[in-house]
């Protein structure tokens, strides 16, 4: 489809679950913009620049994927980029209610924009950025859950915080 799709999120940090979703979306849409929320309601562990740099390094091999920060309503960002589609990932147990609510709200705000859900890959059903941060901050090995660039950065950050 020659369309732009937006994949919005906090990406604090990007995980292999996110990479799986964006890779699959990049095969379906001519252009995918991974939109990183600048100031989410929740406090982030990584700065906006760190979240952008790590997403860029992790997705450099996907030529039709771009990374951009956004503020405000995602439907407005989508409209500004002529993107009629929002992509969201769904894990088996944790995401449905919140995602259902958000998609209804976005539909009310702008009926022209459709939310498309992709089921999380089997290996990533129980993977979340918050779990990655928690395990990594306790010294656990998250190398199989995140891109190698993210793994190295989390190790670096942890060691520097300890100093």
| Chain residues in the site for ligand ADP (CB under 6 A) | 9-11, 15, 17-18, 21, 40, 88-89, 91, 95, 120, 124, 127-129
How long, in residues, is the chain? 163
Measured from the CB atom, the residue of 4 and 19 that comes closer to ligand ADP is 19
The one catalytic residue among 24, 31, 38, 91: 91
42 is catalytic: yes
The one catalytic residue among 88, 129, 136, 153: 129
Strand order in the sheet with 31-37: 65-70, 31-37, 4-9, 85-90, 114-119
Distance in angstroms (rounded) separating the CA atoms of residues 82 and 4: 7
Measured from the CB atom, the residue of 81 and 160 that comes closer to ligand ADP is 81
The one catalytic residue among 30, 42, 94, 130: 42
Distance in angstroms (rounded) separating the CA atoms of residues 69 and 49: 9
Measured from the CB atom, the residue of 88 and 153 that comes closer to ligand ADP is 88
Half-sphere exposure of 67 (CA within 13 A, CB side): 22
DSSP summary character for residue 51 = H
Bridge partner residues of 116 (DSSP)? 87
91 is catalytic: yes
Cβ 123 to ligand ADP shortest distance, Å: 9
Cβ 53 to ligand ADP shortest distance, Å: 16
What residues are labeled active site?
Answer: 18, 42, 91, 129
């Amino acid at each position: 489809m020659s369309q732009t799709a937006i994949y919005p999120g906090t990406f604090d940090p990007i995980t292999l679950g996110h990479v799986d979703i964006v890779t699959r979306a990049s095969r379906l849409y001519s252009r995918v913009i991974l939109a990183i929320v600048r100031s989410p309601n929740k406090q982030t562990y990584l700065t906006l620049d760190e979240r952008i740099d790590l997403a860029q390094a992790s997705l450099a091999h996907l030529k039709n994927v771009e990374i951009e920060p956004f503020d405000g309503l995602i439907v407005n960002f989508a409209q500004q980029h002529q993107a009629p589609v929002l992509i969201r990932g769904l894990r088996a147990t944790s995401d449905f209610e919140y995602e259902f609510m958000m998609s209804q709200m976005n539909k009310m705000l702008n009926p022209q924009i459709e939310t498309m859900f992709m089921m999380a890959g089997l290996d990533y059903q129980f993977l979340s950025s918050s779990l990655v941060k928690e395990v990594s901050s306790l010294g656990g090995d998250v190398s199989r859950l995140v891109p190698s660039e993210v793994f190295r950065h989390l190790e670096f950050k942890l060691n520097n915080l300890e100093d």
